[in-house]
A and B are shown apart, each in its own frame.
Chain A
Amino acid sequence: GESVGLHLPTLSVQEGDNSIINCAYSNSASDYFIWYKQESGKGPQFIIDIRSNMDKRQGQRVTVLLNKTVKHLSLQIAATQPGDSAVYFCAECTTSGSRLTFGEGTQLTVNP
Chain B
Amino acid sequence: AQSVTQLGSHVSVSEGALVLLRCNYSSSVPPYLFWYVQYPNQGLQLLLKYTTGATLVKGINGFEAEFKKSETSFHLTKPSAHMSDAAEYFCAVSDRSGGSYIPTFGRGTSLIVHP
User: Real complex partners, A and B?
Assistant: no
